[in-house]
Amino acid sequence: MYTRRTPRSASGSGGLHRRTRNRAKTAAGLLATAALLVSACSSGSATTSAASAAAEAALVALPQATPAALSSYYGQKPAWRGCGVPGFECATLKAPLDYAEPSSGDIRLAVTRKKATGPGKRLGSLLVNPGGPGGSAIGYVQAYAGIGYPAEVRARYDMVAVDPRGVARSEPVECLDGPGMDRYTQTDATPDDGKETDGLVAAYRTFAEGCGADAPRLLRHVSTVEAARDMDIVRAVLGDEKLNFVGASYGTFLGATYAGLFPDRAGRLVLDGAMDPSLPARRLNLEQTAGFETAFRSFAKDCVRQADCPLGGKGTPPERVGQNLKAFFEKLDTRPVPTTDGDGRKLTESLATTGVIAAMYDEGSWEQLREALTSAMKENDGSGLLVLSDGYYERDADGAYSNLMFANAAVNCLDLPASFDTPDEVRGALPEFQKASPVFGEGLAWAALNCAYWPVHATGEPHRIEAKGAAPIVVVGTTRDPATPYRWAQALAGQLSSARLLTYEGDGHTAYGRGSSCIDRTINAYLLRGTPPTDGKRCS
């Protein structure tokens, strides 16, 4: 599943920037040894039974008193230093690798902050997380949030980010080198026969084996609940009584998990582009597939109104636009299109599909997508779609990849049992996925097979998060969000005992800072004055 957001551009106005390529896979889950679930949970492969169990299972808060075995972590004094980014300082903190056995070793967490600029009374620290899992919170705050959040918010809060364990600067999981990732991303993800299926399975196995060889112990301890417990250590070290937090996309699951574990320490929490932790992986993937179809239909309607739409003329129905795009993908399956890539890569079906999906996250990317499709379909140049795909995978011009996709799989595959265990199970589910999205359904169904070959068994299960006793929490949902369908925001708001649902009627992934003054004013009022919106408030 794909749920990250990143800044599109910078501005000196102090206003929020529109996001693009809000991408990455997500899942929900829980480490049973770190937090108890009441009632039983069943395998995520059985969608109905797991969803039923999750309706009863709920995350139980941890004891308010800090265990003696963790006191040294909570009492750390960070050694702040310059980190090459004006206005920011950085530090390294320690957390137990295994919260069940704190004496078994530590993990190092990278933290950065930019102190409140004033004027006005300081409100404490505001932690931010851009989602993923696998997105670098440090990169996000240094490149965007720490300079682009509203000036009045930055004046009152220290802007803080910690890369979750296994991500970016916090002991990153590594799986493949650049050439290996190039091969992986070009693997045919819609196999037509047994040979192509074997090739896809081999790619998933190679990826998983690489991750297992790199960090066999770490892979067992990168769950969302452990990352949430790390945030509580960061909160204490920063000297804050409560955690104030803005989480986007997967970051909403991280923030909700924190509230569930530490409801008495949950301060002002904004969960934007919310996830539903009660769903098993297969259901999450299926509903997100439908979300991408919803976003594509919005793109299709806009595309045919433009003179340069390569997928149909004025009045062409979205269904036909989708058929035209699907036909183009199928053509690429046998005849990849050349690009100007220095490494000689061609535009394959898998890379083109990724490029289109990347553009679904932000309607501001639709023009770029039209141009890229026109070049590929009419001029036999796939460079534009390759650029979109490379941005999604965080591949730089030198052919190196960030650890985004490595950490993404590591967290997803630990947090929930796999969507599918065998290729035959995927084939059996194809009609369901293709009904959800005629354009993307086949590829997204096969993509959900990756955790079947993971070297570490999942420790989490679907569950509800209620966070009884927490202060008001703002849950934000966008009605045509491709990556976190609006229904998920409704579901999470229905679970959290103190939630206030804020709705953005529009396109794109997440809502804060995407151009709605109503959304921005409402969230700013909550962060600055502690005034939550009325439940059910709607903005456009």
Burial track 116-136 (b if 16+ CB lie within 10 A, e otherwise): beeeeeebbbbbbbbbbbbbb
Three-state SS string over 19-58 comes to: EECCCCCCCCCCCCCCCCECCCCCCCCCHHHHHHHHHHCE
Is-catalytic flag, 221?
no
Query: Which 8-state DSSP code applies to residue 532?
Result: P
Q: Which helix (H) or strand (E) holds 522?
A: helix 517-529
Structural contact between residues 326 and 439, judged by C-beta atoms closer than 8 angstroms: yes
What span, in angstroms and rounded, lies between the C-alpha atoms of 138 and 435? 39
Confidence (pTM):
0.91
Three-state SS string over 255-266 comes to: HHHHHHHCHHHE
Structural contact between residues 104 and 139, judged by C-beta atoms closer than 8 angstroms: no
Instruction: Say which of 45, 223, 509, 516 is annotated catalytic.
Output: 509
Structural contact between residues 165 and 171, judged by C-beta atoms closer than 8 angstroms: yes
Q: Which residues contact 252 (CB under 8 A, 6 or more apart)?
A: 131, 271, 272, 273, 274, 275, 475, 484, 492
CA nearest neighbour of 414 among 369, 442, 454: 454
Structural contact between residues 391 and 358, judged by C-beta atoms closer than 8 angstroms: yes
Pairing between strand 537-539 and 499-507? parallel
CA nearest neighbour of 44 among 345, 539, 434, 460: 460
Pairing between strand 81-82 and 124-129? unpaired
The whole-number mean pLDDT for each consecutive block of 10 residues of the chain, a chain of 540 residues, reads 42 31 29 27 41 70 96 97 96 98 97 95 97 96 95 97 98 97 98 98 98 91 98 98 98 98 98 97 97 97 97 96 98 97 97 98 96 98 98 97 97 97 98 98 98 96 97 98 97 98 96 94 98 97
Structural contact between residues 329 and 323, judged by C-beta atoms closer than 8 angstroms: no
Instruction: Say which of 481, 498, 507, 520 is annotated catalytic.
Output: 481
Is-catalytic flag, 249?
yes
What span, in angstroms and rounded, lies between the C-alpha atoms of 38 and 458? 18
Pairing between strand 124-129 and 157-162? parallel
Cβ-defined contacts of 60-64 (< 8 Å, 24+): 60/35, 60/36, 60/260, 61/260, 61/261, 61/262, 61/263, 61/264, 61/467, 61/468, 61/469, 62/35, 62/229, 62/261, 62/262, 64/264
The pLDDT of residue 97: 98
Structural contact between residues 252 and 467, judged by C-beta atoms closer than 8 angstroms: no
Q: In the structure encoding, which two tokens stand for residue 308, read together?
A: 């340069």
The pLDDT of residue 26: 28
Instruction: Say which of 136, 249, 278, 437 is annotated catalytic.
Output: 249
What span, in angstroms and rounded, lies between the C-alpha atoms of 461 and 463? 6
Q: Phi, psi (5° rounding) for residue 37?
A: -110, 135
Q: Which residues contact 171 (CB under 8 A, 6 or more apart)?
A: 107, 108, 165, 215, 218
Is-catalytic flag, 481?
yes
Q: Which residues pair with 20 in a beta bridge?
A: 6
Query: Which 8-state DSSP code applies to residue 394?
Result: T
